[in-house]
Structure 1
Amino acid sequence: MSRPFSAFRANAREHRASILVAALSAAFGVALLASTGVLAAFIAGDDLASRHGSVLVALDVVAGVFFTIAVYVGAIVTTNTFATIIAGRTRTIALLRLIGSSARAQRRSVAGEGFVVGVIGAVAGGAFSATLALAAVRVFVTMGVLPDEPYPVLTPVLLAPLAIVVATTWLASWVGSRRVLTVTPVQALGASEERPATAIRGSRWRNAVAFALVVLGVALLVFGLLLGLGIFAATPIGSFTSYGVLIALPGGVLSFTGIILAAPLFMPPILRGVGLIFGRGTAARLAAANAVRNPERSSRTTIGLVIGVTLITMFVVASQSYLQMIHQAQENEPGMYAGVDSVLTATMAVFTVLIGFSAIIAAVGVVNSLSLSVLQRRRELGLLRALGFSATQVRRMILAESAQLTVASIVIGLVLGTVYGWIGAQALLGSIPGGGLLVPSLPWPFLGFIVLAAALLAVVASVAPTRRATSVAPVAALAVE
């Protein structure tokens, strides 16, 4: 444990965002289990639970789905973060290789840092969330929102999210550090650099895996949707219609993982096309060309914002579709759903908290990816300054890159989030009495807010590191330390 902790302390500044993501993921899991436990106890005392025994089961299913999504998103953000960190440490790792260290030893060291990050983040986030959950229950009881009953807040099951976050953070650091295996000692003579575009396009196994994941994921999504709608009600699997979401969930995870793996192939051309919209000036054209020249870097920074927009849109669309289906069921079967409004209010409060947590996790990932990406381009920016670019032109180029990243990410994220959220809601509640197939419910004002917030976040996240990078003299920036 001492060696990983020593490596962590030496690179503590690089891991601040990863610790925050691990803490948020652990806090999310603890808050989710605590809140659903309280909500289950509240529903158990309501007449609705006696008339619909599946309500509590469905609540547990939803809790598991949301926690899986939170852990998955946290793992993706952490993987991207460690991949960016490794790209910036290329020369240091190569130098260690030059003096005798093996690639596997270096990778174990990075994975050890990930383990320490996971432990620190999980303990901090879990403790904070448990304390907050206790306080929230007492406040709700005092305000009369919840009846004054004993609620199971602090239970042994709350340790499960902590263990899962530590394990996924370690695994994410291991996956993100895979590039260590390709660093050669001769790179100690150069600077930090990304793999060329030809190496990305030539990775046939990665492309094949990405395609297979997308196809399999889409098939599971469709099957989960059909199962949730009761299409197979007359078959032996018809009794599992309420669990269609459990089929759709791995479908969403697999398909989105495939999209992430394939991002270096399809994202750079999209970014280049979007970039051409912003004019034909030198800075704008260079920004558009950078997306194709460094596909790994551009896709890594873009995918962070895609994850954020997709996640928040998915929760918003799912919650609105959930409400729409319940209200339609109330209209079609008014007697069956009498008294459901109090449960709906409590459930939507949980949805609101989940959306807030998701927004924070996504924002941390976006800011960290953009900041690290810009700061690690100090030599590139120094070369542009030495060739005659002014600091204003460099900032304009980075701003153009952020703008094209924002536009492409928002469009892709809105589409994916709408599809995932709608399928999730239909797979969960599509077969309830009085329900059925509905068109996606899109809260346009909220989606408009997401677009503005994502654009502002991308711009702000790139301005500060760009200012720091351009404040360095060109000669100093070009120096090989």
Structure 2
Amino acid sequence: MRRPLAEQLPSTLVAALSSAFGVCLLETTGVLAQVLAADSVTGSSATVAALLQVVASVFIVIAVYVGSIVTANTFATIIAGRTRTIALYRLIGSSASDQRRAVAREGLVVGAVGSVIGAVLGTAITIGLVSVSVATGVVPSHPYSYLGPVIALPIVAVVLTTWLASWIGSRRVLQVSPMQATGGAVEKSLDEAAGGRGRSVVAVVFFALGGALLVLGMVIGLVSPLGVLVGVVGGLLSFTGLVLGSPLVMPVALRLTGRMFGRSAPARLAAENAVRYPERSSRTTIGLVIGVTLVTMFAVCVESYQVIITNAQRAQPEVYQGVDRTLTVTVVVFSVLMGFSALIAAVGMVNNLSMSVLQRTRELGLLRALGFTARQVRTMILAESAQLTVAAVLVGLVLGTFYGWAGAQSLLGSITGSPGIVLPAIPLALLAILAVAAAVLTLVASVAPSRRATRIAPVAALAVE
């Protein structure tokens, strides 16, 4: 079952970005390690060397985890849009195992192609960044090395998770009987999603256990930087709990944000649509939640990092003499990571919202046949997309602020001259930038696909599969 390039491009693009994020993350960390090792002040410090090893380990885990979640979520969205088509293949005689193998092969190819492209892109970005930094005097001139064996980890992770996402995503699709190929959508309703008690319990346990480990990591961080490792495990567990429980969590946030868009017919229908099928809404929003969480986490982490180092420098200036360049380089590295995180959020959001709109052409045709004008349908889609975006941004800001603060506190809480527990430093400019960027992306991701979908005559749209 061959798929056109237009259907494979979104998943390939996300796989490439996930791979590029992981490769750039590890390579910039490696460059930072080389800068610190060559510095006359930090190069001889055993504490700095230990901190770098810890940070590198943390970044490896983050890179692999983010790549896994983003690619799995995007491929799940694509598979959900093919439910009826795959069921039709089964109706005309294709076996469930054949269809599942075809989907898995596609996932493997997409993951392999995307990860290689991403590895080249990530390396090129790192080299370009270092060249500019050297030219501007931010980092010293040095024969930096980029290609280490560790960059294979995000590449392999993207390939495996894309393949695994296609395999798992096809399981629910292939449970649909062939006769259901002539029926409606098979997305689970709110009541059906809430019926998965086992998944809900696991999600709550993961989230609660992860939160407890984050707090424990901050406490351990007051005596040892190894507390950040405990915090990383807590962050991964808590976010995994959020992902597993997103069909239950996101409707709550969507109900709150749905009241912001008025009581007109399109706005009310948009609010109901966002809540009616929580699995679809959670798939659409979770990519943006990941991106906003990452951007906020890195921003809060670097702000808190600067506050802790500055306070320690004031308390014991003789210990921290000459660390200003190190501080500057670290800020530059984290700024790059924030930029990459924002790019992943943008592409993931545009991909998922656009695919969601185009996959609902038949549903939109039904609304047109019932009397909705094309303008009302577009207004409904824009309101629904804005509702999803606002909910995702709010959740991401809360999570990212806590994760970034916990990360900086658990890593640097025990350094010489540290003031102990500090309040999270939140860059207010970030909030304004995220709000504006989210608004622009919502327009880009929803208006163009909705125009294409509503240009089709209502009767023709009802026949679209």
Matched AA of 2:157: I
Q: What residue is the counterpart of 1:3 in the other structure?
A: none
Q: What residue is the counterpart of 2:253 in the other structure?
A: 270
Cα distance in structure 1, aligned partners of 2:125 and 2:401: 31
Task: Show the 5 A alignment for 1:19-38.
Answer: 19-38=12-31
Asked if 1:461 is matched to 2:441, the reply is no
Report the Cα offset of residue 51 of structure 1.
5.0
Unaligned runs of 5+ in 2: none
Q: 1:161 aligns with which of 154, 165, 169?
A: 154
Q: What residue is the counterpart of 2:109 in the other structure?
A: 116
Are the structure 2 counterparts of residues 309 and 138 from structure 1 closer, same or farther at C-alpha, using a change threshold of 3 Å? closer
Relative to structure 2, which stretch is displaced further, 174-183 or 386-395?
174-183
Q: What residue is the counterpart of 2:395 in the other structure?
A: 412
Cα distance in structure 2, aligned partners of 1:301 and 1:141: 40
Q: What residue is the counterpart of 1:83 in the other structure?
A: 76
Asked if 1:340 is matched to 2:323, the reply is yes
Are the structure 2 counterparts of residues 149 and 302 from structure 1 closer, same or farther at C-alpha, using a change threshold of 3 Å? closer
Q: 2:428 aligns with which of 444, 449, 453?
A: 444
Cα distance in structure 2, aligned partners of 1:343 and 1:434: 17
Asked if 1:351 is matched to 2:334, the reply is yes
Relative to structure 2, which stretch is displaced further, 146-155 or 181-190?
146-155
Secondary structure at the aligned position of 2:41 is classed as: helix
Cα distance in structure 1, aligned partners of 2:286 and 2:443: 16
Cα distance in structure 2, aligned partners of 1:117 and 1:244: 37
Task: Show the 5 A alignment for 1:34-433.
Answer: 34-230=27-223, 241-433=224-416
Asked if 1:479 is matched to 2:460, the reply is no
Relative to structure 2, which stretch is displaced further, 445-454 or 157-166?
157-166
Cα distance in structure 2, aligned partners of 1:134 and 1:292: 45
Are the structure 2 counterparts of residues 77 and 134 from structure 1 closer, same or farther at C-alpha, using a change threshold of 3 Å? closer
Report the Cα offset of residue 104 of structure 1.
4.0
Say what the alpha-carbon RMSD is for the aligned residues.
Answer: 2.0
Report the Cα offset of residue 74 of structure 1.
2.7
Are the structure 2 counterparts of residues 114 and 274 from structure 1 closer, same or farther at C-alpha, using a change threshold of 3 Å? same
Report the Cα offset of residue 114 of structure 1.
1.5
Report the Cα offset of residue 143 of structure 1.
4.5
Are the structure 2 counterparts of residues 407 and 34 from structure 1 closer, same or farther at C-alpha, using a change threshold of 3 Å? closer
TM-score, length-normalised on structure 1? Answer: 0.91
Are the structure 2 counterparts of residues 157 and 301 from structure 1 closer, same or farther at C-alpha, using a change threshold of 3 Å? closer
Matched AA of 1:130: T
Report the Cα offset of residue 153 of structure 1.
2.2
Matched AA of 1:474: P
Aligned residues: 464
TM-score, length-normalised on structure 2? Answer: 0.94
Are the structure 2 counterparts of residues 438 and 397 from structure 1 closer, same or farther at C-alpha, using a change threshold of 3 Å? same
Deviation track 1:215-252 (CA, whole Å, cap 9, x = no partner) reads: 2211211211111122xxxxxxxxxx211111111211
Cα distance in structure 1, aligned partners of 2:354 and 2:44: 53
Relative to structure 2, which stretch is displaced further, 170-179 or 460-469?
170-179
Deviation track 1:301-349 (CA, whole Å, cap 9, x = no partner) reads: 1222222221211111111011111111101111111000011111111
Relative to structure 2, which stretch is displaced further, 282-291 or 171-180?
171-180
Contact persistence 2:108–2:163 (CA under 8 A): yes
Cα distance in structure 2, aligned partners of 1:409 and 1:373: 16
Deviation track 1:98-121 (CA, whole Å, cap 9, x = no partner) reads: 234343442332222111111111
Contact persistence 1:83–1:179 (CA under 8 A): no
Are the structure 2 counterparts of residues 356 and 303 from structure 1 closer, same or farther at C-alpha, using a change threshold of 3 Å? same
Contact persistence 2:274–2:388 (CA under 8 A): no
Relative to structure 2, which stretch is displaced further, 28-37 or 212-221?
28-37
Cα distance in structure 2, aligned partners of 1:57 and 1:443: 28
Are the structure 2 counterparts of residues 143 and 268 from structure 1 closer, same or farther at C-alpha, using a change threshold of 3 Å? closer
Deviation track 1:73-117 (CA, whole Å, cap 9, x = no partner) reads: 232222222222222111111122223434344233222211111
Cα distance in structure 2, aligned partners of 1:375 and 1:480: 10
Cα distance in structure 2, aligned partners of 1:133 and 1:408: 33
Deviation track 1:55-83 (CA, whole Å, cap 9, x = no partner) reads: 12322322332342233223222222222
Cα distance in structure 2, aligned partners of 1:12 and 1:75: 22
Q: In percent, how many aligned pairs have the same letter? A: 60
Deviation track 1:126-171 (CA, whole Å, cap 9, x = no partner) reads: 1233344345444544554444433222334433332232223222
Unaligned runs of 5+ in 1: 1-6, 231-240
Cα distance in structure 1, aligned partners of 2:127 and 2:429: 33
